[in-house]
């Protein structure tokens, strides 16, 4: 399974000012090392006492119900993240369509003196959004295509003073598999007569990774539910937001099985996706609605995903603490 | 002069001068409209120039170093790179000032991509998409003025070439295509 890499490899060539700054910092560090009094390393960073925030970042949508699902997620994970004491703020940001944007939140964190921000990207798997747009918005990368597109779409870029750390994507770990298995079980009545259709957003550039993810999740569903026919389709930009891919996938299952169970593998509920595109695709399928079981739900809400987020944040905080420990 | 003649004179002046004033914007929005209508078939904003690159062999992820990235970059004519990153276990993406290269490590094939703004279309699309914050107000005003230009256009002429004559039939004929499209959408 592809895993979001969090180490960026920069070119070895540094500008003269950067070299000078590095020299000054090294000198300062050496002098500081001579001091007899040392602050606890886990509580301080280069900008003073460490203050860490968590930012739950998602794509964003014009749909209010979609955005509310993400705000609800924040409410559910925040208490547990905050109990550790290492994190003092948990907030939500949207990449596009709605405020609070990523830049808005990062500016808030800077104003409030946060030194570290753990970003939790609520994206299914690798895509230009998760791999390029997000780091470009936060000033971690300068992907030329992202920069042009962000400008055109009026998405503000902001490089925070706080250090950014990113957790892996949702495909990392077991939460996604658990989620799809649970929802498939809830729809299933006679596994022998049924086949499953997973509908995801999809991506042109990383189609292979998306296909691999859906095949892997499908295999887990097969093993745990006894439903042996599986397929998947897309509903995002890769199919130009058209319902045809859903129709084709449903028809593939209905050729061999009496019923198709359709599961949207999308982060939250958006009328445009779950109703217009997927629902519209089901209506056009052979045999129509009668042979299809469909609940227009989404990955959220899900305690397993919430638990995964808490765990991912904890891991990042531990890594952060270990890095600054003497 | 009759009061109606005076009103018609003002109407015609409005139609003429608003037409002149908004001519550039009407053409810009029309061009952009055509471009954005076909957004599924082409990228109306950017020209994406791609070049296929073949490495000497396939690579494993753990073989990749700054030095190998430098060699891959040289194949695309890039003397240096900004950074590189791994989108997946099988791929490495290299970033340059105005380009990127995505390499499939296993096959040793890469795609070097340069992005540039599509002349004229990028600029008209910026306006049409309201990519400038305050432009939506100008755009609203423009839309309202288009209504004024259209309505004043209907009342420019009298007689058999005016609204009571051929005008009413042409308005009805022009309303037919959108009505047919809407009916078809409902079926």
| Each residue's pLDDT tens digit, B121-130 | 999 999 988 8
Beta bridge partners of A55: A91, A119
How far, in Å, are A131, A144, B104, B108, B186 from residue B94 at the CA level? Answer: 12, 11, 11, 14, 49
Specify the 3-state DSSP secondary structure of B91. strand
**Domain parsing of chain B, residue ranges:** 3-43+132-186, 46-117
Residue predicted with more confidence, A321 or B58:
B58
Nearest-angstrom CA–CA distance, A14 and A112:
31
The pLDDT, as a whole number, for residue B1 is 58
Cβ contact A13–B40 (<8 Å):
no
Instruction: Tell me what the pLDDT averaged over chain A comes to.
Output: 87
Across the interface, whether the CB atoms of A144 and B100 are under 8 A apart is answered: yes
Q: Are A45 and A115 in contact (CB under 8 A)?
A: yes
The residues, any chain, with a CB within 8 Å of residue A243's CB and separated by 6 or more, are A235, A276, A277, A278, A279, A280, A281, A284
B85 has a chain A CB within 8 A of its CB: yes
d(CA B43, CA B35): 9
Phi, then psi, of B117 in degrees rounded to 5? -70, 135
Q: Is the pLDDT of residue A34 over 90?
A: no
Residue B150, class by beta-carbon neighbours within 10 Å (0-12 exposed, 13-18 middle, 19+ buried)? exposed
**Is B156 an interface residue toward A (CB < 8 Å)?**
no
Reported as a single tens digit per residue, the pLDDT across A144-155 is 999 999 998 899
pLDDT of residue A193: 94
- What is the C-alpha separation between B43 and A208, in angstroms, rounded? 23
CB burial of residue A49 (10 Å; 0-12, 13-18, 19+): exposed
Print burial letters for A223-239: b (CB count within 10 Å at least 16), e (below 16): eebebebbbbbbbbebb
DSSP-assigned beta bridge partners for residue A54: A90, A118
Task: Tell me the pLDDT tens digit for each residue of A171-198.
Answer: 888 899 999 999 999 999 999 999 999 9
pLDDT, tens digit, 9 for 90 and up, residues A106-117: 999 999 999 999
Of the pLDDT bands very low, low, confident and very high (cuts 50, 70, 90), residue A6 is low
pLDDT band at B177 (very low <50, low <70, confident <90, very high): very high
- Single pTM value for the model: 0.82
A284 φ, ψ (degrees, to nearest 5)? -85, -5
pLDDT of residue A7: 63
Mutation for testing the A interface, residue in B82, B123, B133 having most A CBs under 10 Å: B82
A286-311 pLDDT, tens digit each: 876 789 999 999 999 999 999 999 99
Distance between CA atoms of B18 and A31, rounded to whole angstroms? 72
pLDDT at position A45, please? 58
Do the chains contact at B99 and A152, CB–CB below 8 Å?
A: no
Contacts of residue A296, Cβ cutoff 8 Å, sequence gap at least 6: A264, A269, A274, A275, A278, A279
Residue of A nearest to B48 (CA): A145
The predicted pLDDT at position A244 comes to 96
pLDDT, tens digit, 9 for 90 and up, residues B137-150: 999 999 999 999 99
pLDDT at A47: 63
Residues of chain B above pLDDT 90, percent? 81
DSSP per residue, B118-171: PTTHHHHHHHHTT-STTHHHHHHHHHHHHHHHHHHHHTS--GGGSIIIIIHHHH
Partners of B83 on chain A (C-beta within 8 Å) are 8-11, 141
Average pLDDT, integer, range A189-213:
94
A120: left (phi over 0), alpha (psi -120 to 50) or beta: beta
Confidence (pLDDT) at A114: 96
Q: Would the pLDDT of A19 be above 70? A: no
Q: Residue A17: CB partners within 8 Å, gap ≥ 6?
A: none
**Which residues lie across from B29 on neighbouring strands?**
none
What is residue A10's predicted lDDT score, i.e. its pLDDT? 66
Decide if pLDDT at A42 tops 50.
no
Find all residues with CB under 8 Å of A203, minimum gap 6, and list them.
A126, A127, A128, A209, A210, A236, A237, A238
Rg (CA), chain B: 28
The beta-carbon neighbor of B80 closest among A7, A13, A205 is: A13
- Each residue of A215-233: pLDDT tens digit? 999 999 999 999 999 999 9
Selecting from A141, A154, A205 the residue whose C-beta is nearest the C-beta of B133 gives A154
Range in A259-273, B32-46, B65-79, B169-183 with the lowest mean pLDDT? B32-46
What is residue A28's predicted lDDT score, i.e. its pLDDT?
45
- β-strand A9-10 against B83-88: which pairing, if any? antiparallel
Q: Return the pLDDT at A23.
A: 46
* pLDDT attached to residue B106: 92
Q: What is the DSSP letter of A243?
A: T
Check whether B51 has a pLDDT greater than 90. Answer: yes
Q: How far is A198 from chain B (nearest CA, A)?
A: 22
- Residue in chain A nearest B97 by alpha carbon: A144
Q: Are A1 and A169 in contact (CB under 8 A)?
A: no
DSSP 8-state secondary structure symbol assigned to residue A131: I
Average pLDDT score over residue span A4-11:
58
DSSP strands (E only) in B62-108: 83-88, 91-95, 99-104
């Amino acid at each position: 399974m592809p895993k979001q890499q969090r180490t960026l490899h920069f070119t070895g060539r540094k500008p003269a000012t950067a070299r000078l700054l590095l020299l000054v910092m090294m000198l300062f560090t050496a002098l500081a090392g001579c001091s007899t009094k040392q602050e606890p390393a886990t509580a301080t960073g280069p900008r003073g006492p460490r203050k860490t925030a968590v930012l739950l970042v998602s794509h964003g949508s014009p749909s209010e119900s979609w955005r509310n699902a993400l705000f609800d997620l924040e409410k559910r994970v925040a208490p547990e993240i905050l109990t550790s004491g290492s994190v003092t703020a948990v907030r939500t940001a949207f990449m596009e369509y709605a405020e609070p944007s990523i830049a808005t939140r990062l500016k808030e964190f800077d104003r409030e003196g946060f030194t570290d921000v753990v970003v939790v990207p609520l994206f299914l798997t690798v895509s230009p959004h998760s791999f390029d747009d997000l780091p470009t918005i936060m000033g971690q990368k300068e992907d030329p295509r992202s920069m042009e597109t962000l400008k055109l779409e009026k998405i503000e870029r902001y490089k925070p003073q706080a250090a950014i750390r990113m957790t892996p994507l949702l495909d990392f770990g077991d939460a996604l598999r658990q989620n799809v298995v649970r929802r498939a079980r809830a729809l299933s009545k006679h596994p022998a007569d049924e086949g499953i259709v997973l509908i995801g957003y999809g991506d042109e550039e990383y189609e292979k990774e998306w296909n691999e993810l859906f095949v892997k999740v499908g295999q887990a569903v097969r093993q745990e539910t006894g439903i042996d026919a599986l397929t998947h389709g897309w509903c995002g930009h890769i199919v130009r937001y058209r319902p045809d891919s859903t129709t084709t996938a449903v028809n593939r299952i209905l050729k061999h099985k009496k019923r198709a169970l359709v599961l949207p593998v999308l982060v939250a509920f958006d009328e445009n996706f779950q109703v217009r595109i997927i629902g519209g695709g089901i209506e056009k399928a052979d045999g129509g609605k009668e042979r299809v079981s469909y609940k227009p739900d989404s990955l959220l809400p899900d305690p397993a995903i919430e638990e995964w987020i808490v765990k991912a944040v904890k891991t990042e905080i531990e890594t952060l603490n270990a890095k600054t420990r003497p | 002069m009759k009061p109606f003649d005076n009103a018609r004179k003002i109407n015609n002046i409005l139609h003429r001068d608003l037409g002149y004033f908004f001519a550039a914007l009407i053409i810009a929005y029309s061009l952009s409209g055509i471009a954005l209508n076909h957004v599924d078939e082409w990228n109306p904003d950017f020209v994406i120039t791609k070049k296929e690159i073949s490495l000497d062999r396939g690579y494993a992820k753990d073989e990749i170093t700054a030095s190998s990235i430098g060699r891959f970059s040289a194949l695309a004519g890039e003397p240096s790179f900004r950074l590189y990153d791994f989108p997946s276990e099988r791929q490495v993406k290299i970033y340059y000032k105005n380009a990127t290269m995505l390499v499939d490590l296993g096959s040793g094939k890469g795609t070097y991509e340069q992005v540039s703004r599509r002349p004229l279309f990028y600029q008209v699309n910026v306006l049409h998409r309201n990519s400038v914050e305050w432009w939506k107000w100008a755009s609203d005003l423009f839309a309202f003025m288009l209504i004024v230009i259209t309505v004043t256009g209907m009342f420019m002429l009298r007689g058999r070439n005016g609204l009571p004559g051929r005008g009413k039939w042409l308005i009805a004929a022009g309303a037919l295509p959108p009505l047919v499209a809407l009916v078809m959408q409902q079926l």
